[in-house]
Chain A
C-alpha cells in the first residue's frame, strides 16, 4: 500500500519543518519517493503531522472491562489521532508478569489499530515490596517500569529498584508523591480544599518525593522519567536537575496545564484527578514549564471511569478523566495560549514522547514508521458523551467546544480512521 498525501500543511516537529508539501508512505514507512500511489489523500486545509504518542493511556484490560475495553479505547485513540500509546501497569491483575504483558500485546496487535507499549509493574502487585522480573517483562514487551499511581513508600525498595533497573538500562517511570503526606488526601491542600472541607495533599508531597528521586538518580544513574508533575516547585526541581545533566525527563497531564483547584466548583467529581488539580499558580508554572521544555511532554493520562465511579461524593469518586480524544485539541489550546508555533506545540505530543519512549515514530523523516495524523486545526470538537468514542465519558471538559478535529489517522501505512 502506497499513500500520497498532498496539498496539506506538513508539520514535522522533530525537524521543526513546517510548510506546504507532500508526504509519501510506502511499505508502512515514511518515504521520499513519489512512486505510483495506491491512494491519494487530498489534505487541503489540513495539517499533516506524525501520529500522536501518548505516554499514559489506560485501556482497562485486563480486569476493568466494565469501564472500558481495548476495542473501545483503541477506537478513541485513533479518533484522537493517537497512533502510539503507553499503558500503565495498574490493571487487575497489574502487569507484573510476562504472561499478562504478552496477552495484552497480542490482543492489541490483533486489533491492528494504535501501537501499544505496555509499561510493566516495578514491584510485584504494585505493592512496593519486591521487584518484578524486569528482564522477562522486557522480553515480553515492556518498555519501562512503573508504579502507576500506587505508592512506593519504602525508600530502600525504591533505591534497590533503581539500582537494578540501572544495571540493565531499563527505564523507570515514577510519579513523585510522598505516600505518607498524600495519605487520605483528595485535593490540593489550599484555600479551595479548606472551603470545601476536603482532605488535602500539600505541594511538598511532590517536591519531597521528587528531591528523593533525584538524589537516587544521582546515586544510581538510573534512567528515570517523572510522570504527571503537578506543582510549581516540582518544575523548578526538574529545571535544576536537567541543568545538572541528570538522566531525567518528565511529563504533565493535559488537564493540569488547563485546570486548577478552582475548577472543582461545587464538588465536580470530574475534577477528581491524580495528582490533584493544584493552584492557579501551579497550573501556570506547569504550562510555562512545558513551553520552555523543562517538562518534556504532555500526556492524556486517559482514565475511563464508568458513571457509577463518578456519581459519588467527591472524595469517594474514582479519580481520572478520559483524555485520548481531547489530547490534540487541548494541546493546541495550550500551544495557542503559550504563543507557540504548531511545530513546537506538536513536539510535546509527538517527537518528545517518542524520545522518552525510545521509538523511531513521532517524526516524518524518510524511514520512520508510517504513523500520520491529518487534522483540521480550526474545526470544532464538541465534547459530549455522544461524540466521545471512549467508553469513559468522564471529563471536566464536557460541554466545551474545542478546536482541532482529526480527519484521518494512519498507522504503519494503513488508514485506520477517517471522518
Chain B
C-alpha cells in the first residue's frame, strides 16, 4: 500500500482528502483547534491573521452554496484572499481537463485548493499533481468523502456529548450515495465510538457496509433504540423515483424521523442533519425545530472546523 497521500514525510496533514486513514491525534488536534476558533467567530472582530497573504481557491466542479460559503467565510476569518470558481459553467464546458484547470490556477500562486467534484477520488488526483507548498482540501467528492462535514459532525457530537467512548450513534437514510456518512463513520470509529449504526432499506446501503465497522438495521425503531446521537441524511430527489424507493411518502413512513420514533432514542439524544433538509421526507419539522435538534449549531461549528483545517494544513 502506498503512503497515505494526505500526510507529508513527517506524518503531518498536507492535504485533507478523507477522514479514513487519519490517525486519532490528527483528528483530535483539528477538533481542539476548532474549539479555539469558536471564540473568534463569536467576537465582534471575527478575524485572525493566520492566513494573511495566502490565497484560497474554491474550486467547485459541482454546484454548492452552503459548503462553498462556509469555506469562504472560514478563509476570510483567517484573513486569506478567497477566489471562488464555479467550474461547471466555465472551463469544463470548454473541454479543459481537470488537471489543466488546476495547473493554470497553480500558476496564479494558490496556497489552498478547496475542491468539490462529482467524481469519487478527484481530490486525490489533484493532490498528486499540485506543487509541494500547495494544499488540497476535499469539500466533497462523489460518494466518497466529505471530511470537513464529518469533522464538524464529530465536533458537534463532542460538544454535546463530551466522551466518544460510550456513545451509540445512528446514521439514517441513504448511506449508498452519502459521502457524509462515509466520512462520519470513519471519524467515529477512529475516535472510539463503541457502536455506530446505519439504518436504511437494503437499496440504500452499499455492499459490505459492515466492513466499515457499523451495525446494520433495516428497522428504524430497532435501530434508534437507546441512541445518543441520530444523524439524518438528506434524501436526494432523484432517489425517490425509479428502483431504489417507491415514493417519498413511503420513505417517510419507514425512515422519516418524527417525535414518536425519536422517543425510542435516549432522552438526551441529539439530532443532526448535514443539510439541506427535506422536511417531511427524512425529517419532521417538529423534530428539526425541536429541543433535540442541533442542526443550526452544526452550521456554526462548521466554520470553526474549516478554519481549523485550513490553518493546520497551511502550517505544515
Contacts and interface: CB of A to CB of B under 8 A. Distances in A.
A193 B125 CA distance: 17
Given A197-B179, A197-B182, A266-B2, A313 B209 contact: no
A313 B120 contact: yes
Interface in B113-163: 117, 119-122, 124-125, 129, 141-145
Nearest to B186: A195
Contacts of A196: 120-121, 144
A197 B143 contact: yes
A288 to B, nearest CB: 23
Given A197-B144, A198-B120, A311 B99 contact: yes
Contact of A197 (B1, B99, B145, B211): B145
A313 B99 contact: no
B182 A313 contact: no
A199 B142 CA distance: 10
A379 interface: no
Given A308-B97, A312-B98, A313-B98, A193 B121 contact: no
Contacts of A193: 206-207
Contacts of A199: 143
Contacts of B182: 195, 197
Nearest to B3: A266
B212 interface: yes
Interface string B173-201: 00000010010000000000000000000
Contacts of A173: none
Most buried by B among A197, A267, A314: A197
Given A197-B143, A315-B142, A190 B207 contact: yes
In which size bucket is the chain B interface?
Answer: 20 to 34
A313 B121 contact: yes
Contact of B207 (A189, A312, A314): A189
A319 to B, nearest CB: 15
Contacts of B119: 312-316
Interface in B196-241: 206-209, 211-212
A265 B145 contact: no
Nearest to A268: B2
Nearest to B125: A313
A314 B121 contact: yes
Contacts of B280: none
Interface in A179-238: 189-191, 193-200, 202
B207 A191 contact: yes
Contacts of A314: 119-121
A267 B208 contact: no
A325 B15 CA distance: 37
Contact of B121 (A189, A191, A200, A266): A266
Contacts of B2: 265-266
A194 B98 contact: no
Given A197-B144, A197-B179, A191 B125 contact: no
Contacts of B179: 197
Nearest to B183: A197
A195 B212 contact: yes
A379 B98 CA distance: 40
A191 B141 CA distance: 18
Contacts of B274: none
Contact of A194 (B5, B145, B206): B206
A316 to B, nearest CB: 6
Interface in A251-286: 265-267, 269
Interface in A117-137: none
B234 to A, nearest CB: 16
A384 to B, nearest CB: 17
Nearest to A313: B119
Contacts of A189: 207
A193 B20 CA distance: 14
B125 A315 contact: no
Contacts of B97: 308, 311-312
A265 B207 contact: no
B121 A267 contact: yes
A311 B211 contact: no
A244 to B, nearest CB: 31
B207 A315 contact: no
A197 B142 contact: yes
Contacts of B208: 190-191, 194
Given A197-B141, A312-B125, A315-B142, A267 B211 contact: no
Contacts of A190: 207-208
Interface of B: 1-2, 5, 20, 97-99, 117, 119-122, 124-125, 129, 141-145, 179, 182, 206-209, 211-212
5 contacts: A194-B209, A197-B179, A266-B5, A311-B125, A312-B98
Given A197-B182, A313-B117, 7 more contacts: A191-B207, A199-B143, A200-B206, A312-B98, A314-B119, A314-B121, A315-B120
Interface of A: 189-191, 193-200, 202, 265-267, 269, 308, 311-316
